[in-house]
Amino acid sequence: MKYTSKLPDEKVNRPKEYLFLFALKLLSGLLVFVVLFYLIVTASVNIIAENLSPEHEAKIMKYVQMDIDMNQTQKSTQLQHMVDKLAVCAKLPYKVDAYVMDDFHVNAMAVPGAKMLVTKGLLHKVKTENELAMVLGHELGHFKHKDNIKSMGKGLIFAVAGMLLSSDNYGSLFSTTLEMTNNRYSQEQEMAADLFGVDMLNCAYGTANGATALFEKMKKEGEGWKYLLADHPDFIKRIKKMKAYIREREYDTSKKLIPLGRIYK
């Protein structure tokens, strides 16, 4: 047998280049998979949530609990009265119970179990009933849009997916990409809740005056509001969006603001 010499394949001298291209293709494929997975899960959960009957929704909201120490909260007749007044406009299929939370971060939360928590820190910041009503209306918007149910449904599926991939090096990247995508969706939910809050304020008080007051404070004070702004849209965009919405709906903004009375002891 005659031996015929030949030059080695040129690819042998470019292993790094090919490894880079391979890694790039792998990451691109993973990204496409994550996006498709997210879109399918989100669409499926949203369809299920939107078609839940009021009875089933009320049961879910009643029995699913958050890991919150309710011993650190207190009932407030004044706060509950405001929530009930706004809830008439929201037309929810269940009653929302309002609590003052012994926390001096500036925050308010709509949590599973049809509970609304308002921190003492927030109550110290708002000066008028209109300001507080806007926040309460915003949180009622999360209940009305079934954001809690949607978030719980997606969270459960994403948690299972994360566990299945946890032994793989791609698991953390998969979870991080999902989290980033979901944060963007959460901002859309926040914007929708803002506009719902404007509607509730106008419905219950006959004016949208004070709707942007809290956000104006955010704009002025900046750094002190990071806790409330986590996963939320930029407050400047929120102010512009709400003002445009108020003009579009031709809501009154001239009625006198109502001073906020004592909410808790």
Q: Which has the higher per-residue pLDDT, 239 or 35?
A: 239
- Where would I find the beta strands (DSSP E) of 54-192? 73-75, 97-101, 108-111, 115-119
Phi, psi angles (nearest 5°) of residue 52 = -70, 135
Answer whether 206's CB lies under 8 Å from 252's CB.
yes
Per the structure block, which two tokens stand in for 187? Answer: 């901002």
Tens digits of residue pLDDT in 85-126? 999 999 998 899 999 999 988 889 988 778 899 999 999 999
Q: Dihedral angle at the C-alpha atoms of 185, 88, 106, 155, nearest 10 degrees?
A: -30
Contacting residues for 201 by C-beta, under 8 A, at least 6 apart: 86, 130, 133, 134, 137, 207, 208, 210, 211
Asked whether residue 18 carries a pLDDT value surpassing 50, the answer given is yes
Residues 6+ apart with CB under 8 A from 6: none
Spatial distance between the Cα atoms of 206 and 200, rounded to a whole number of angstroms = 9
Instruction: Label the pairing between strands 97-101 and 115-119.
Output: parallel
pLDDT digits (tens, 9 = 90+) for 26-41: 777 767 877 777 777 7
Domain ranges of the chain: 33-60+128-249
Q: What's the token pair of residue 180?
A: 């980033």
Query: How high does pLDDT run on average in the chain?
Result: 79
